Structure 1
Amino acid sequence: MTDTPAPYRWRWAALFVVLAAEVMDLLDSLVTNIAAPAIRADIGGGESTIQWLGAAYTLAMAIGLITGGRLGDIFGRRRMYLVGAVGFTLGSVACGLAQAPDQLIAARVVQGLLGAIMLPQGLGILKEIFSEKEQAAAFGMFGPVMGLSTVGGPILAGWLVDADLWGSGWRMIFLINIPLGLFAVAGGLAFLPEWKSARTVRLDLLGALLAAAGSALIVFPLVQGREHGWPAWAFALIALAVAVFAVFAWYEKRTAAAGRDPLVEPSLFRKRGFSGGMALGLVFFSAMTGFWLTFSLYTQIGLHYSPFKAGLAGIPSSIGMVVAFIASQALAKFGRKVMHGGLITMVAGVGGVILTLGLSGDTVTPWQLTPALAVTGLGMGFVMAPFFDTVLASVEPHETGSASGTLTSVQQLGAALGTAILGTVFFERIKGDSFVHAEQFTLGVEIAMLAVVFGAIFLLPRHARPQETEAEPVATAAEEIPV
């Protein structure tokens, strides 16, 4: 590490620079759910275009996060943060100027890849410039910012589309990143110190390519297969993806045995808690992302809500998530029981949405959906809040960095899969059924996915922290933020 003042005098300014980058990512992961119908109406594309607007970003993010942190170790965190921030901002401009679906989807890939380079660097720098005592306060800022972005992101997106500022329509949801991006770049130049790993780190390029290929081979046929009548090549690609991931696992084991730096520590997969956490995260984040996508599509396409009204309709769920994040701190002593309780609560909320739609049909109002959506969001929050802490309690301290990065990539891959799977289910059902029944059926599939998550929770450690009688400590809360 380069020499920096102790404590670094600009550390709080650096915190707000990193938070600006986090806000850009959070907004861009949410806005296309609201704006997708307006985008398709303007530049065309099939139903799969709507799915790709979200899946392209999250899939690229999942692929990029696997190596993003390592690039900072090799080339310097400040340098790679600036590369990521500039690239993400330019990608946002390209999204705002896109004239065709393929151009927009390609620009979303650029956003995801460059965002995956940007985000780990800022978080890693914060861990270096704040003392252990200050880290709790510094990383505690992320909770409120994430909560406000979750609540405000869809509303902002809906308002921008409806407001049609200067005739920009949906394009402003991406162009609004320009001032945020300029702040992130200028702030990075002014306030972020340089940091580079003291030891020589090699990039596992072949491992990264194998992981990227396997992920893409799963998502692509799930999105495109339906529009082509589920041809044989779709299933062949999925089978090939399984084979590629098997080769990836073999290669990572071989890399570690040779004393080189593997992309993912093979020892992690021998731990029941971590493997269970990966399966849990993949299915849960698929279900959660699919819920947001299909609900936004149903309210706009089925109920003919404006984008702004659709954004407002989701507020109860977002508020429920924020409340759960706050309350989960007081419930941490109950360990994984909090996650089980959250799953039961979420299932009750999703069931409430199904019941409300069945009773009210196409005349349902946002107020009628409010109780069920609030319960759904509350459940989501109680599962999400302790997820990383609980899974990481099963790994050794020296494995925490690799485990955190892998889990974050799994979270993003789950989001891409949720967009592909539940989006496909929804569009498949509306071919010969009403929008109400299509949404009810899709939510029924979601409940089945949550049942799988409920069982996977039993594989996790009972508590996020070892008991005092255990000798070895685990990472602090700040260390568990993926870097």
Structure 2
Amino acid sequence: MPDTAFTDRLSDRQRSLAFVTVLIAFVMDVVDSTIVNTALPPIQSALGASDRAMQWVVSGYFLTFAVLLVVGGRLGDLFGYARMFVIGVIGFTLASLACGLAADGGALSAARLAQGAAAALMAPQGVALIQLLYTPTERIGRLAAFGVIGGLAAIGGPVLGGMLIEWSPFGLGWRSVFLINLPFGLMALVAGLTLLPRGRSGDALRPDVPGSLLLFAALGSLLFPLIEGRAAGWPWWTAALGLASVVLWWAFWRYECRRRATVGSALIEPSLFADPGFRIGLAATTGFAVASGGFLLTFSLTLQRGLGYAPIDVALLHIPFGLGVMAGISQIGRKALPRYGRRVPMTGAVVMAAGCLTTAAAIHQAMPAVVIGALLLVAGVGMGTLSGPLGPITLARVDRNHAGVAGATHKTVQQIGGALGTALITTVYFMVVAGRSAAAVPGAFLVSSAIVALDLLALALLLRRLPDRLFER
């Protein structure tokens, strides 16, 4: 059991300040996963970086975050949540500084890998600290606030990125997208040192280092040929790495099963996969993350590289999309899910597919921004109606004894999907654009959006396999 001796002495005000502290770090993490979308063209132009370097800037963050997320949670259990939170904040702030000072695409990509690793250390401590700070009844509202604010932060990232580039505070230009983290990181650091309760698990499990390395190798050997293969002309080693990735994923699964049987703990809990709802939910979450990550990135690239939009214009077009997402999550998905079950996310997937594809068609036909914004609103409603229910569906029938590892597995899969989406969809996009004029960019976006739509429609068919009554055992 967690050590709660210190938290029992906290006043309501102290608990609220501690909650705000972890919330600041949570928003920093979520925003930084999407803020670069509107900044990539200015970054690429300023640094003279290649397309594949820009893919690593986005995918690299997801890669290290996904691989180290569970490890970060375990380290908090072992050494204390507040201590690991502070170390994570320091690492995240320093990595943000390195991003802002990067002199070329390689340095920026390396700094983003470090930033994702630090986020993986920082993020899990927030949820663990809420467990310490609040009773089970109180946690419901606090975790719901995390969900709503997280959705806003994810969509708000590209908006903030566009505004910072437009305003260019202190003449920093694109560098302000990363350096904006410094004051907030310092605030989180001071608050973490003074306001967070000291607690850790009394039943802490050792980090699974070999499993983490296998996961990193499996995911890395899949991402590397996707991103680097196009520029190299798809040589033999791209296929070899793809086959190696399959073997490594199999080895990772076998190792985790064996470790669970012999040691009693692993990065994942193999028994969870006996539940079809959990398996389908994870697969759907992966497919959704691939679609959303790929669409949002290629959308921002298309408007700036193909149509000459300024970053601030791209930011403004994200606003109707964000409003649609929040309406889908808070008004449609949340209220309709208990009554209509699997039909809610299935409908959301179809609506999102239609919205993404028609948005791409409107851009291809050079329709007015107001039309594009209206179609983005539809796509956003679909996204929110789909994404909001995926977490509750995936975890609906999970044994409470495995709730923590199930939640971490779901979050890890989200990050893996984000890495795959930004690598795979943008690789197809750049293949269509390669060697052509800016006039070909909207066509490339239409092709990549068609892949996104097919992914979402396949996801809708997959969700049909869920049981009718999701929340009854």
TM-score, normalised relative to structure 2: 0.95
Deviation at 1:271, TM superposition (A): 2.4
What is the distance in 2 between the residues matched to 1:111 and 1:95? 9
Aligned to 1:350: 356
Q: Which residue identity is paired with 1:30? A: T
Unaligned runs of 5+ in 2: none
What is the distance in 2 between the residues matched to 1:200 and 1:375? 45
Q: Which residue identity is paired with 1:346? A: M
Deviation at 1:22, TM superposition (A): 1.0
Aligned to 2:345: 339
CA separation of 1:148/1:343 partners in 2, compared to 1, >3 Å: closer, same or farther?
Answer: closer
Deviation at 1:140, TM superposition (A): 2.8
Aligned to 1:78: 82
Deviation at 1:155, TM superposition (A): 2.0
Deviates more, 1:246-255 or 1:450-459: 450-459
Once the two structures are superposed, residues 261-285 of structure 1 have per-residue CA deviations (whole angstroms, 9 ceiling, x without a partner) of 2111111223222222222111210
CA separation of 1:249/1:367 partners in 2, compared to 1, >3 Å: closer, same or farther?
Answer: same
Deviates more, 1:391-400 or 1:69-78: 391-400
Q: Secondary structure at the match of 2:22?
A: helix
Q: Secondary structure at the match of 1:329?
A: helix
CA separation of 1:391/1:147 partners in 2, compared to 1, >3 Å: closer, same or farther?
Answer: closer
Q: Secondary structure at the match of 2:199?
A: coil
Q: Which residue identity is paired with 2:361? A: L
Aligned to 2:441: 435
What is the distance in 2 between the residues matched to 1:31 and 1:114? 17
Q: Which residue identity is paired with 2:216? A: A
What is the distance in 1 between the residues matched to 2:471 and 2:388? 14
CA separation of 1:151/1:251 partners in 2, compared to 1, >3 Å: closer, same or farther?
Answer: closer
What is the distance in 2 between the residues matched to 1:151 and 1:202? 35
Aligned to 1:451: 457
What is the distance in 2 between the residues matched to 1:136 and 1:260? 30
- For residue 384 of structure 1, the aligned residue among 383, 387, 390 is 387
Deviation at 1:45, TM superposition (A): 1.6
- For residue 257 of structure 2, the aligned residue among 248, 253, 257 is 253
Deviation at 1:353, TM superposition (A): 1.4
Q: Which residue identity is paired with 1:340? A: M
Deviation at 1:150, TM superposition (A): 3.5
- For residue 109 of structure 2, the aligned residue among 105, 112, 115 is 105
Q: Within 5 A, what are the aligned runs for 1:134-153?
A: 134-153=138-157
Deviation at 1:151, TM superposition (A): 4.2
Q: Which residue identity is paired with 1:402? A: V
- For residue 159 of structure 2, the aligned residue among 155, 159, 164 is 155
What is the distance in 2 between the residues matched to 1:164 and 1:462? 52
What is the distance in 1 between the residues matched to 2:174 and 2:215? 33
Aligned to 2:10: 8
Q: Which residue identity is paired with 2:197? A: P
Deviation at 1:200, TM superposition (A): 4.3
Aligned to 1:404: 407
What is the distance in 1 between the residues matched to 2:141 and 2:6? 20
Aligned to 1:309: 313
Deviation at 1:435, TM superposition (A): 1.5
- For residue 295 of structure 2, the aligned residue among 282, 291, 295 is 291
Deviates more, 1:104-113 or 1:185-194: 185-194
For the Cα contact (< 8 Å) 1:202–1:260, is it kept in 2? no
For the Cα contact (< 8 Å) 2:354–2:453, is it kept in 1? no
For the Cα contact (< 8 Å) 1:390–1:461, is it kept in 2? no
Deviation at 1:447, TM superposition (A): 1.1
Deviation at 1:149, TM superposition (A): 2.1
Residue 331 (structure 2) pairs with residue 329 (structure 1): no
Deviation at 1:313, TM superposition (A): 1.5
Residue 212 (structure 2) pairs with residue 211 (structure 1): no
Residue 28 (structure 2) pairs with residue 24 (structure 1): yes
Deviation at 1:294, TM superposition (A): 0.4
Deviation at 1:425, TM superposition (A): 0.9
Q: Which residue identity is paired with 1:4? A: F
Q: Which residue identity is paired with 1:34? A: T
Deviates more, 1:56-65 or 1:138-147: 138-147
Q: Within 5 A, what are the aligned runs for 1:230-249?
A: 230-249=234-253
Q: Secondary structure at the match of 1:186?
A: helix
Q: Within 5 A, what are the aligned runs for 1:145-224?
A: 145-224=149-228
Deviation at 1:7, TM superposition (A): 6.7
CA separation of 1:299/1:133 partners in 2, compared to 1, >3 Å: closer, same or farther?
Answer: same
For the Cα contact (< 8 Å) 1:274–1:460, is it kept in 2? no
Deviation at 1:323, TM superposition (A): 0.8
Q: Which residue identity is paired with 1:6? A: D
What is the distance in 2 between the residues matched to 1:287 and 1:200? 36
For the Cα contact (< 8 Å) 1:65–1:117, is it kept in 2? yes
TM-score, normalised relative to structure 1: 0.93
What is the distance in 1 between the residues matched to 2:361 and 2:460? 22
Q: Secondary structure at the match of 1:385?
A: helix
Deviation at 1:329, TM superposition (A): 2.0
Deviates more, 1:452-461 or 1:102-111: 452-461
Deviation at 1:193, TM superposition (A): 0.8
What is the distance in 1 between the residues matched to 2:90 and 2:24? 13
Deviation at 1:101, TM superposition (A): 0.9
Identity %: 36
What is the distance in 2 between the residues matched to 1:247 and 1:231? 25
Q: Which residue identity is paired with 1:330? A: K
For the Cα contact (< 8 Å) 1:158–1:310, is it kept in 2? yes
Q: Which residue identity is paired with 2:229? A: G
Aligned to 1:373: 376
What is the distance in 2 between the residues matched to 1:119 and 1:169? 28
